[in-house]
């Protein structure tokens, strides 16, 4: 194992924003005072009842009268509107919360940072890497700057989130157990979150994911969203040189974090490890691959000394648990590496050369597709092939993908056909597809399900704009994606972000198109 020259370390901010002062909860204070006020009246009534039981009917002050003398000053007494309420009665809105107003009153911040008064908008904008004019930005008002930030946020995210809308309607604020169960029912009910509508997809095309550089090569072969941080990896090659870059994903600027060059190593595949702090790149020219440690800023070359299969590093997959790395070699071999020790631990022998592989959600089963059209099922724990069936009508298998809910298996062929199988039928000798997708006319080189199993992205790098999104479980196409005039070029690789909010497609023009899927709320 050889260590290459150390690069500048990549620092990952796991906190996000700097710490802020503790906020004062005004409404907690109001609730406290209100509780003490009404408890005080209840105690007075109780004392009156006890005195009457002991001494009979005596002249006592009214229980609802204003408490004098010993009552704590901290207890806030409700204000009475004499025009509407008789003296001594409790108003409907004792703390002037304006609960019945149709118009939402302007809300005041419960906490203000005094340091903000010393910050000028001009100084903030002057520290930005890209700004208008050679002499920086002129002074602008805080309100104008705030509106500009809001517009940029809505441009990237589609709209203002519900939690940020001051005029949103709050249906109920009860603290009783029944109300709690009603409000949390969406998270535990069998229905779950709302399903993705079919036919028409709500989405927005954003700035290219690699717009800050466009320097990852003429052909993009690797696009990955980090499973831990809101960071994306883009990798590709030009001629015999490879390059990989990390970007902050915001949909607007997508600022570059770091670029790594791999001379004389054309990258054909790139993936993050499960910990999100390392990634691996492979090529088809050499018998080794590289693992890059982002925090340490160093690359590690992992040699492969098998002379009979030295060029097997161009395509690989990582098991869902992040423990194993599978390289598809020549002569129908699958080489397995341990991701912790980065050492070779085993080799599987398939019946034909493998071109693609996918796993079930637990990682106990692996499905491979390849030349000849056979689909093989592997027991990963015992590392043996347990079943094989022929993909209906397939000449050569090009791609394969299993939905995250383990219900559907999609198999792409060299003829442009994508067969969809129900996994309940995969134990049969000759299972039949439940759906045949035939919108592509050239080899289906990429298949990817989104995290909710409601979308299947299918594409071919043999034809311009050969890219489709399919709705599940209806298995119908979205008619408005991509829109007419959208230039996707020849799509090489497609990936969804961890929560499905973004989809990225790398092409043969050195760019990665980025889309925001509005149905899904986050990265």
Q: What is the mean pLDDT of the chain?
A: 79
Average pLDDT over residues 99-113: 55
Worst-scoring range by mean pLDDT, 53-62, 202-211, 412-421?
A: 53-62
Contact 116, 55 (CB under 8 A): no
pLDDT reading at 38 higher than 50:
no
* Helix/strand/coil for 241: strand
CA 59 and chain centroid, separation: 70
pLDDT > 90 fraction of the chain, expressed in percent and rounded: 58
What confidence score (pLDDT) does residue 368 get? 98
Average pLDDT over residues 3-21: 48
3-state class percentages of the chain: helix first, strand second, coil last, to nearest 5? 15, 30, 55
Specify burial of residue 290 (Cβ count, 10 A radius: 0-12, 13-18, 19+). buried
Per residue in 360-370, pLDDT tens? 999 999 999 99
What confidence score (pLDDT) does residue 287 get? 83
Average pLDDT over residues 91-111: 51
Per residue in 300-317, pLDDT tens? 999 876 655 666 788 999
CA 510 and chain centroid, separation: 24
Average pLDDT over residues 133-152: 64
What confidence score (pLDDT) does residue 11 get? 53
> Can you read off the two tokens belonging to residue 298?
């160093």
132 or 107, higher pLDDT: 107
Residue 56, by phi and psi: left (phi above 0), alpha (psi -120 to 50) or beta?
left
Domain 203-517 sits in CATH 3.40.50.2300: no
pLDDT > 70 fraction of the chain, expressed in percent and rounded: 63
pLDDT reading at 19 higher than 90:
no
- Residues 480 and 477: their CA atoms lie apart, in Å, by 9
Would you say the pTM of this structure is higher than 0.95? no
Work out the number of other CB atoms within 10 angstroms of the CB of residue 40: 13
131 or 15, higher pLDDT: 131
- Residues 195 and 47: their CA atoms lie apart, in Å, by 59
Per domain, the residue ranges of the chain are: 26-112+144-188, 203-517
* Helix/strand/coil for 399: strand
């Amino acid at each position: 194992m050889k260590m290459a020259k150390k690069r500048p370390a990549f620092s990952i901010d796991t906190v996000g924003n700097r710490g802020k002062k503790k906020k004062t909860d005004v409404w907690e204070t109001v609730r406290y005072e209100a509780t003490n006020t009404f408890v005080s009246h209840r105690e007075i009534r109780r004392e009156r009842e006890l005195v009457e039981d002991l001494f009979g009917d005596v002249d006592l002050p009214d229980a609802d009268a204003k408490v004098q003398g010993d009552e704590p000053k901290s207890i806030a007494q409700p204000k009475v509107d004499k025009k509407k309420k008789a003296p001594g009665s409790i108003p409907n809105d004792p703390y002037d919360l304006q609960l019945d107003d149709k118009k939402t009153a302007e809300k005041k911040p419960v906490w203000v940072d005094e340091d903000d008064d010393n910050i000028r908008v001009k100084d903030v904008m002057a520290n930005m890497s890209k700004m208008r004019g050679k002499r920086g930005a002129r002074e602008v008002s805080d309100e104008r700057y705030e509106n500009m930030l809001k517009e940029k946020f809505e441009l990237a995210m589609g709209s203002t989130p519900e939690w940020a809308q001051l005029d949103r309607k709050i249906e109920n604020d009860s603290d009783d157990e029944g109300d709690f169960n009603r409000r949390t029912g969406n998270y535990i009910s069998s229905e779950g979150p709302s399903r993705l509508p079919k036919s028409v997809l709500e989405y927005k095309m954003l700035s290219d994911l690699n717009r800050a550089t466009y320097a990852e090569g003429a052909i993009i072969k690797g696009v990955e969203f980090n499973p831990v941080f809101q960071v994306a990896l883009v990798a590709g090659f030009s001629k015999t040189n490879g390059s990989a870059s990390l970007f902050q994903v915001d949909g607007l600027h997508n600022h570059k974090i770091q670029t790594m060059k791999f001379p004389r190593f054309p990258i054909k595949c790139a993936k993050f490890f499960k910990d999100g702090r390392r990634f691996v790149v492979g090529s088809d020219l050499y018998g080794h691959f590289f693992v890059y440690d982002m925090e340490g800023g160093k690359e590690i070359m992992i040699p492969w000394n098998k002379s009979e299969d030295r060029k097997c590093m161009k395509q690989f997959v990582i098991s869902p648990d992040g423990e194993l790395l599978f390289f598809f070699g020549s002569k129908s071999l699958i080489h397995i590496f341990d991701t912790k020790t980065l050492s070779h631990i085993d080799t599987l022998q398939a019946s034909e050369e493998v071109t693609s592989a996918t796993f079930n959600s637990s990682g106990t089963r692996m499905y491979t597709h390849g030349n000849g059209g056979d689909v093989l099922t592997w027991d990963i724990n015992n590392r043996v092939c347990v079943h094989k069936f022929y993909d209906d009508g397939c000449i050569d298998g090009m791609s394969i993908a299993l939905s995250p809910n383990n219900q559907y298996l999609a198999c792409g062929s060299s003829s442009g056909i994508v067969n969809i199988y129900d996994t309940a039928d995969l134990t049969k000798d000759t299972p039949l597809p439940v759906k045949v997708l035939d919108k592509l006319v050239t080899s289906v080189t990429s298949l990817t399900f989104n995290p909710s199993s409601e979308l299947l992205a299918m594409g071919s790098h043999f034809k311009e704009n050969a890219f489709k999104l399919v709705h599940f479980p209806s298995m119908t196409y979205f008619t408005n994606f991509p829109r007419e005039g959208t230039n996707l070029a020849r799509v090489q690789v497609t990936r969804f972000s961890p929560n499905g909010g973004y989809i990225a497609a790398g092409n043969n023009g050195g760019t990665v198109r980025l889309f925001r899927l509005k149905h899904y709320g986050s990265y």
